[in-house]
Amino acid sequence: MTDTAGDSILQAGVGNPDELDRLWTPHRMAYIRGENKPADGSAGECPFCRVPSLPDEEGLVVHRGERAYVVLNLYPYAPGHLMVCPFRHVADYTDTTDEEVVEIADLTRQAMRVIRSVSAAEGFNIGMNQGHIAGAGIAAHLHQHVVPRWPGDQNFMPIIGRTKTLPELLSDTRALLADAWRVG
């Protein structure tokens, strides 16, 4: 599918068309360039601690629970890539409370339902990277990834430029998922 209109993105290679995959674009260049990386592991530097203090639209928060919240990944591996995070600045899964574990699990389950309700996701990768050595980008604050998967989703064509459209696309995705979450 190609669209040459001024503010549109070029898209190719994704599986089943649905409400999410039209929003795909490679957000990961900013991540590769190292932008938005915390200077250290303190709560004051932590994006996962800062995001809940922002309006949902600005922080890309999809849902707020009592002890944990759900946020869109700013540098998604796939459209609809969510993260479930405790509000508390805690790095290691073994340091969570029983209440936090239950709520993280419940929000993960609900995130899968919500993504399925707005897309034809056929599978998910769910998990936590514990420590920088295991691939955690922000190791100081626990976060569980929920990444929807589609057939052929590893075959994206590289897309150059268009980065100015990213915040708008992510806010569209956030609104779509937040609305679906409310409807249940």
Residue 138 touches Zn ion, criterion: CB under 5 A = no
Residue 128 touches Zn ion, criterion: CB under 5 A = no
Two tokens at 24?
A: 């795909």
Q: Which of 14, 20, 23, 49 binds Zn ion (CB under 5 A)?
A: 49
Residue 46 touches Zn ion, criterion: CB under 5 A = yes
Residue 87 touches Zn ion, criterion: CB under 5 A = no
Part in contact with Zn ion (CB under 5 A); list of ranges 68-76, 113-121, 125-133, 135-143: 135-143
- One-letter amino acid at 115 equals I
CB of 68 to Zn ion, least distance (A): 12
H helices present in the chain, as ranges: 28-32, 47-50, 56-59, 98-118, 166-183
Q: Which of 27, 81, 141, 143 binds Zn ion (CB under 5 A)?
A: 141
Part in contact with Zn ion (CB under 5 A); list of ranges 101-109, 113-121, 134-142, 176-184: 134-142
Phi-psi region of 53 (alpha: psi -120 to 50; beta: other; left: phi over 0): alpha
Residue 139 touches Zn ion, criterion: CB under 5 A = no
Two tokens at 35?
A: 């932008």
- Considering only CA atoms, give the Rg of the chain: 16
Catalytic residues: 143
CA distance 60 to 97: 25
For residue 153, give the DSSP letter.
T
Residue 89 touches Zn ion, criterion: CB under 5 A = yes
In DSSP notation, 117-129 reads HHS---EEEEE--
Residue 48 touches Zn ion, criterion: CB under 5 A = yes
Which positions lie near Zn ion, rule CB under 5 A?
A: 43, 46, 48-49, 89, 141
